[in-house]
Amino acid sequence: MMQGLKISGFNAGYPKRQIITNLNVPLLPRGKITVLLGPNGCGKSTLLRSLAGLNRAKGEMWLNGEELMTLPFAQRASRVVYLPQSLPAGVHLHVLESIIVAQRASGGRSSAASEAEVMELLEQLGIAHLAMSYLDQLSGGQKQLVGLAQSLIRRPGLLLLDEPLSALDLNYQFHVMELVRRETEKRNIVTVVVVHDINIALRHGQHVLMLQNGELIADGLPEDVITPESLARVYGVRGRIERCTLGTPQVLIDGLVEAPSF
């Protein structure tokens, strides 16, 4: 059986504008983080939403040998979890309650055991002290961490994270990416993460997809995809990849290939 995520002939967008055209993505591995890179407006968020069934799309989407595009939305949602950039506003629930609700939505039972599982997850995320706080009283970064907990508790086969680090400080960015990597490996799931920081992709990504104008430019290992040539072509910058004293590759930007047009 094919293990992982494969996308074939995928088209997605909006009623008056198609964003993704005939996208073909080779098998994305289970147990590894795939980072989705590309400039603003290239279709990253549209692709994630379409894979989750939230945007209209056509094509094939195979997860571990099962064609998800033909499934009713509720069945696809039991296998695919999408975390947007921010949680819906105005939800007046305790953090603990909100995660238990997410757990029930995926078929989990409400019990002392499940509450203990939720608290353990909150401990891992460093937000156990917020368990009895209301969602609408949290900061943006705290809400993102709660959203991640709600996603992981549902035990998806495919986890889609749209800029989960955007409201987090450096400490939590590193912490969250390490947690996502650990949980992805432990649960042997396919995880796709959108980030803007290319150095995060180099450090934490195990596979990279690079998009431009809704098309796949490159995919593979981070150091094979993130090159001076791809940085110039996709981002319009002159850059180089060098290793720090600890041996970790990092991108250094020296200038622009051409002036951006706004």
DSSP track, 177-210: HHHHHHHHHHHT-EEEEE-S-HHHHHHH-SEEEE
Written as six digits, the tokens of 184 are 């992805």
Query: Average per-residue pLDDT in the chain?
Result: 91
- Strand 57-63 versus strand 5-14 pairing type: antiparallel
Between CA 29 and CA 245 the distance in angstroms is 30
The answer, yes or no, to whether residue 260 has pLDDT greater than 60, is no
Written as six digits, the tokens of 45 are 């968020």
For 132-164, the pLDDT digits (tens) are: 999 989 988 898 899 999 999 999 999 999 999
Average pLDDT over residues 193-202: 96
SS3 labels along 29-54: CCCEEEEEECCCCCCHHHHHHHHCCC
Between CA 138 and CA 130 the distance in angstroms is 9
Q: What is the pLDDT of residue 54?
A: 93
Q: What is the pLDDT of residue 103?
A: 86
Residue ranges of alpha helices (H) inside 94-169 are: 95-105, 112-125, 140-153
Secondary structure (3-state) at 211: strand
Could you say which DSSP state residue 229 is in? Answer: H
For 53-82, the pLDDT digits (tens) are: 999 899 999 999 999 999 999 899 999 999
Between CA 5 and CA 151 the distance in angstroms is 18
**Where in the chain are the domains?**
5-219
- Positive or negative, the CA dihedral 30, 35, 37, 40 is positive
Between CA 134 and CA 146 the distance in angstroms is 11
Q: What is the pLDDT of residue 92?
A: 84
Q: What is the pLDDT of residue 111?
A: 56
Q: Tell me, which fold does domain 5-219 have in CATH?
A: Rossmann fold (3.40.50)
